[in-house]
Each structure stands twice: as structure tokens, then as C-alpha cells.
Structure 1
């Protein structure tokens, strides 16, 4: 049942030293704990409640924002503020947890749901559908191109350059931006140009972080490169361990995949110095840099040295992989070489997709979506850290992105994954992201595609299995 309004005895004490905002948040919190407000019920508008209580609208809005950050309420675009799904009397998730032994097999059937906690999947269903439909209507009103530009639509390139300047503080010229079909497409174009075998020489060597992005290894290998695993630590790639004969190094400095390190400024400078000395090109994958928590942004490698870095990005984490759009930023003649190869391969990004994304950027819809999702993902991340952190395992990579790493002993990991699967929770392991013998063991816990209630339930399952003998 969804109410149009609430009729609760909310009384604020203006003589109290407790701020009105905190008082209101406490009263609403108590109503949700005791059942006065139930999951799915709508709270009054900030304007309406402010009028009833005789306070400024700001008091109500700040209280709502606090409850949102804590996971008590959800904001639905254009619809209002609702008690979050999964909250019942006592503030617990509404899902009833099974009382079972850790080794018991959970029956599966129509009533059971699988919770996917593997990394790389965003929460696509939260997008503003009115904005989405508006963007595609605008795209449908345009005629198809007779000869698609290999660089992409000029207007979209301008908007992407502005987006990168605003969101990542990267000084990008529109002439240096190419619209791609996503990160994989961009990587393949780079590999085609930079990793071509030279007559009479051994296969070119391409470095990939270890552990690192498996698809990057696969794309480089498919283009004939020898893959060189490059070790990382808790800050990112270890510069001193890099060999001098790499043509390309694929790196994720904003949030190392999967370990989560953020490459500090001094190490970024050493990495760029290594690239200048050896002649290597750094391929910087900015795959989830929009999502940061409690930390300041670090400058992109591309902005520090555009001549030695190619920057890749996409909408697969910020919006959805199904959109199939990304960007490649490279300066000098390299982008022209890539465009030439792209024409030879008849590779292109569909025009309607470009037009729709241009509308989302132009109207600010994508920026608003990113702001909402930063809050949403921060709440899910907090659930994981608060639930699993006190148990003792090291939690890595929780300052950014859509996943964390939970370090665990090697002998525990695979048994835990199998038992969690029986309980309806799908997990990923750090081992799977190594090219060679795994050096670090644990879980890569993604929280992008699961609801808050599901994240909490999955963490409860993991915690119970870890505590079992």
C-alpha cells in the first residue's frame, strides 16, 4: 500500500539544543522502526511537511537527505520520497532470513531470487525514464547519416570534451575525442594500431596490471601481442617492476581493477617518466572514476601528459552497458591513425545512439543521474563495510567505484563461493583476475546491480558462512 501522505504526531521542540533537522530525522526514523511508516509508503513533499510543521523547507529537505544517506528512504525521480524497500519494524530488512546450518542447501524455485554480487554491473533500472524517452524521441527525429564520421558526431564530441573537463578536470580538445562503442571497442582499435607485429621482430609486448582486467588481456592477445603481467600493490601498478620493452601498458589508476588502489601523484609522475623514457603508450581506463566516496579526485594521467597517454571511458558503469557508447581521447597524429584503421574495418558507433546520448548530456540528465547514483552506491558500500569489516578481513578499494575486495585465506575462498551460491548469492574471486599464479586471494564484491536490501542480505549470508567452522 502506498499512501499519498502521512498523518503522524510529529512535534518539533524549538527550545531544544538539538537542531530541528536532527529532531525531524529522529522522529521519522522512529516511525519507520515502530511501523508507523512501512516499506513503500510515500512521505509528504518537503514543501507540504514544512508548511504543516511551520519550518523552512530546507529543514525538511536536509532531514530527508540524511535518511536517504542512511538507507531509510528512497527518492524516485518525479514521484517523491518513499520508505525504502527492505525496512520493517525495527529497521531490519523485510526479507526473512532462513535459520539453517551453513552447509545446508537452499531449495531453489520460483519464490527464490538470486543476488548477483559480481563486479562490473551498474544499477541500470534507476534511470529517469522520462529523460530516456525524451532522448530517443530526439534521436528518432534525425535522418540517418549517409557516411558516418569515424571520429563521431561533432556535437557529441564537443559535449564529451566538456563532460571530461567538468567531471574529471581533463583539458580535452574536441579534436582529440573519438566516440566509440565502449571500452572494449576502444582497446581493440588501440591494439590494432599500436600492437601490429613488425617484420622480423618478435610479437609486441603489452603490459596489463596483475591482477587486472581480463578482457584487456584477451583483446591484446587476439591482436597478436605477448601479455606481460605487471604487479600492483595497494596503491596501483608498481612502476619499478615494469620492463622497458613494453609498447603499451593498460592501467586503471583512478580505481585499480580489481584491487581498488588509487595511484598517488608521485607514482603517476614516475609512471609518466617511465613511459617517456621507454617510448611506451599508457592506456588509461577511467572505467568508474565518476563514483568516489570521501576522497578528493586525482588528476587523470592524460591531463598530465597527453602525448604519452590514451584515455578510455564509457557509459557502461555510469548508465548501462546496453547503451554501447564510449570515448577514446588521444592527441597528435595517433587519433588520426586510429580513425583511418576504423574506416578500413568499417567500424562505427550507431548514429541514433550518439544523438540520444548528446541529448542526455546537453540537458544535464546524465549529470543528475550520476549525482543520484553516487549517493545510492555510497549507501550500498557502507552496508558492506559495516557488515563485513568488523569480522576482521581486509576490505580494499572502498573509496571509489562499484566493488570492493575482501581479502581472505586461499583455502576459504572457493568453499565460501560455493556455499554462498547454494544460498542464492553469486560471488566473484580475486583469483579469476590473475594472469599467472594468484598472489592475493579473496572476494571481488560488486554492489552495483543489487538493491540495498539484497546487498544487506548477501553480506549477512557471507558473514554467517565466515563465522561457521
Structure 2
């Protein structure tokens, strides 16, 4: 990448066209006709303002507009670069601007990522060395490694208050715990076994769209159900539904928990109307204010399938999760695995077993809760002190800044990307017509230093653009 020479810009201060609009048009034209090339570095908004003898508000507004259109991209700590070659140029190869999420210099503030940087590397290496001592397997263990399922049982008892059978064999028959490849993999197995093509599944909206698309790919009819401060609105679940998918511990992406009353009503109606409740325990281990409410699987083990994963508390590298379900569901999943030859990978399970055996898993969870609690407090304090409203429980690895429209949401995401910050909006998390708008701010993927440095930029992005949370 090269730094551009003095920008070919002329502003007419007598024109009725705002200076920011003129500047954006001049730079857009220069990029289109080849005077600015893909990879050219632009001056900072402050330096360009000084060069043109205008306020920084003018240059910042122009850059934000060009970023939203895809002409430029910001790299945190590096600068702003032209990303688009002149259309039709014989010397320019067609190329797309590199997404900000893939830019190593960008600060990733999207939810859904773990604090992988906090994993003790010595413990990590020790676990992999220990896993390598296991003899090569002769055949797949469809239920998952007995030692891994025992670790899951202990984890659920200690950290989620769920008591399950703690003695396991290779068959998995008559048991309630199975290893999985993660939450989405488990949803796919349920869609292929206990549910049938054409069955209706009610899902939270907004909610986890990978699960939604997995269900749709299996031929299920997905019906979006609105959520409020207490969780999924059960009166909206249609007659004849076969299953309800929800994340009651820390609703994704709104960050609230399902109330005790709503939980009781859900399991009572599930028993009465024949629903299978799929409980995605998203961020269930990460609560910082009070003890988490009992799992749905503890309230109604006969109608609830509980799903968990190591992807959020450790790393997706392991590809290890779990499913706790009634015997009929467990048998159906095992039969499906046997008939299709599918089974969860044992490598990640072995690493989890070693982490637990050495006490490193427990130490990491304690450190994880402490770190993310402090990060959340830091972010909430900075935003609220700056007049920015936030919603969501004191839990998990993200919070939400509510906004008034999809347009505002898109605008703020674009403005943030121009500053090298990658944000996520609520609108894309709907499978029906979007009704919630805002920014879901994750604080686990970045470093503590990056979070500190990002806060002033976030406040600039949000200032004057955020509604009251009501």
C-alpha cells in the first residue's frame, strides 16, 4: 500500500452544497477515475481538515459517507485507505474491499466470540500433550468419550446446578448426556431425528440465525416469535408447534434472561401441548450479579433438550459441545449417528478432559468471569456516563445499545468501521421482519487494551444517535 500525494480536492465555499458532501464527491470521483488507487492511504481527518482549512467535522462526515459506500476502509492504529479500484480500468484487477472483520488491525466488538486470549498457554499446551497420550481409537464412539461426558456432568453440576448421571460407558444407551460438535451441530441432529420435514418450530426473534438456517435446511417450518424483557412471548407460539427453541439464560442477542414465571409457563405448556423445548444455554456460565435461574432441563427433563458448548467459555478450536435430553431423544440421536456414520470429533473432547483433570478448566472459568465482569463494568460505565443507554443483564460477553431504526443502525456500523471498529446490528438477527434495532457490543474477542482504546471512538460514534432505552 502506498501513501497518496496531496489529495486532488477543490471545495467551493460559496456553493449551497455542504462542504462534507462536496469533499465526499471529490474523493469519490478521484477514486473512480484512477487519480486515487486501491491501497492509497488517505490523510487523517485532522490532517485533511488542516490542509483544506475546514473543521474536522467536515472531513469526518465525508470519510464516514465514503466508508458506508465501500470506497474506503479504516484500519485501527494504521489509517484510512482507498479500497476500490476505478471501474473498467484495464490495469486494475476486479477486487472487493477486504471486510473489516478480516482486517487484523480492526477491533472486533461483535458478540459471539470467546476470550480466547485469556486461555493460559501453558495449560493449553499441557492439555494437548496429555490428549496426545491417548491411544489411537479403533472405532468411533457415537455417544462421545465417557471421560468427556463425565467432565460435562461435573461441569453442569458445579456451574449450572443440573444433576445428571455421572457414570458413562461407550454405548451411551440409557444415559442423558451426549457429546456434540457444538450447538448448531446438535440442532442439525435434532432436526434430522426427533423432528420431521414440515414440522413447525417456534424460535425467538431476534435470535440465533445459524440455528434458524440449520432448521430451515432440514425442511422445518420456522416461525419467529417476538421477545420482551421476560423472554419469548408464549401466546404467539402457533397451534401445532412441535418444538420451541430459546436461549433463556442470556437471550441472544438482546442479553436478557427469561423470567421465572415465563419458564414455568413454558414447560407447563410444553407438557400440555407436546412441545419439545430446545434450551440453548448461551453464556449460561457467565453471570455476574446473582446466581442464574434454574435450567429448563432441571425444571422439566422430560420435555427439554439442553444444549451447551465449549466454544464460548474456551474456543471454537475444540469443536466440543454437549446435549442433555430425555432417553427417547438420546436414543434417536445415537441411532442416527450409527446409521449415518456421524460422530463428534474426539480430539477436542480429549483436550477438555485434560484441562479438567489438571484443574485448568476451573481456573480458566473463574478468571473468565472476573475478566468479563470487569470489562462489562468498564464499558457500561463509560457508555452511560457518556449518555448512551444500554440494555441487557449483568451477564455474558455482550451488551446492547438500542437504536430507533435500521437506517440509524447501518449508519453507526459504517461510522464505526471507518474508525477500525467492527460492530454488529440487531436487525440481521431476525428471521421475520426486524422489530429491534441497535448495536450488540461484544467485549470478549478484543484485548483489554483494545477495549480501552475503542471506548472514546465508540462514544464519538454513538453521541447524539442513541434513543432512550425506555
TM-score where L is the length of structure 2: 0.75
Is 2:61 aligned against 1:103? Answer: yes
Q: CA deviation at 1:452?
A: 2.1
Q: CA deviation at 1:350?
A: 2.3
1:128 to 116, 120, 131: 120
Q: 1:107 to 1:266 in 2, by over 3 A?
A: closer
After superposition, give the CA deviation of every residue in 1:145-174 in whole Å (9 maximum; x if it has no partner). Answer: 111111111121112111101110001124
Is 2:136 aligned against 1:144? Answer: yes
Q: Which residue of 2 aligns with 1:447?
A: 443
Question: Structure 2: how far apart are the matches of 1:109 and 1:310?
Answer: 42
Q: Which residue of 2 aligns with 1:190?
A: 190
Q: Which runs of 5+ in 2 are unaligned?
A: 1-43, 47-55, 64-72, 80-104, 167-174, 466-470
Q: CA deviation at 1:372?
A: 0.5
Aligned partners of 1:393 and 1:407 also within 8 Å: no
Q: Which residue of 1 aligns with 2:149?
A: 157
Q: Which residue of 1 aligns with 2:293?
A: 298
Q: CA deviation at 1:442?
A: 0.7
Q: How does 1:86-101 map to 2 (within 5 A)?
A: 100-101=56-57
Aligned partners of 1:416 and 1:466 also within 8 Å: yes
Question: Structure 1: how far apart are the matches of 2:111 and 2:162?
Answer: 27
Aligned partners of 1:144 and 1:351 also within 8 Å: no
Aligned partners of 1:379 and 1:452 also within 8 Å: no
Q: Secondary structure, in 3 states, of the residue corresponding to 1:229?
A: strand
Question: Structure 2: how far apart are the matches of 1:445 and 1:465?
Answer: 13
1:460 to 456, 463, 468: 456
Q: How does 1:381-420 map to 2 (within 5 A)?
A: 381-410=376-405, 411-420=407-416
Q: CA deviation at 1:408?
A: 1.3
1:211 to 197, 206, 214: 206
Question: Structure 1: how far apart are the matches of 2:189 and 2:307?
Answer: 11
Question: Structure 1: how far apart are the matches of 2:382 and 2:45?
Answer: 18
Q: CA deviation at 1:466?
A: 2.7
Question: Structure 2: how far apart are the matches of 1:133 and 1:376?
Answer: 22
Q: Which residue of 2 aligns with 1:49?
A: none
Question: Structure 2: how far apart are the matches of 1:396 and 1:156?
Answer: 36
Question: Structure 2: how far apart are the matches of 1:125 and 1:165?
Answer: 27
Q: CA deviation at 1:459?
A: 2.7
Q: Which residue of 1 aligns with 2:16?
A: none
Q: Which residue of 1 aligns with 2:49?
A: none
After superposition, give the CA deviation of every residue in 1:198-253 in whole Å (9 maximum; x if it has no partner). Answer: xxxxx111111011000111010011001100110012111222223111111000
Q: CA deviation at 1:331?
A: 2.1
Question: Structure 2: how far apart are the matches of 1:468 and 1:392?
Answer: 9
Moved more, 325-334 or 454-463: 454-463
Is 2:160 aligned against 1:168? Answer: yes
Moved more, 345-354 or 187-196: 345-354
After superposition, give the CA deviation of every residue in 1:111-138 in whole Å (9 maximum; x if it has no partner). Answer: 3521111111112122111211111112
TM-score where L is the length of structure 1: 0.75
Q: Secondary structure, in 3 states, of the residue corresponding to 2:61?
A: coil
Q: How many residues align?
A: 368
Question: Structure 2: how far apart are the matches of 1:149 and 1:180?
Answer: 11
Aligned partners of 1:211 and 1:231 also within 8 Å: yes
| RMSD (Å) for aligned C-alpha atoms | 1.9
Q: Which runs of 5+ in 1 are unaligned?
A: 1-96, 198-202
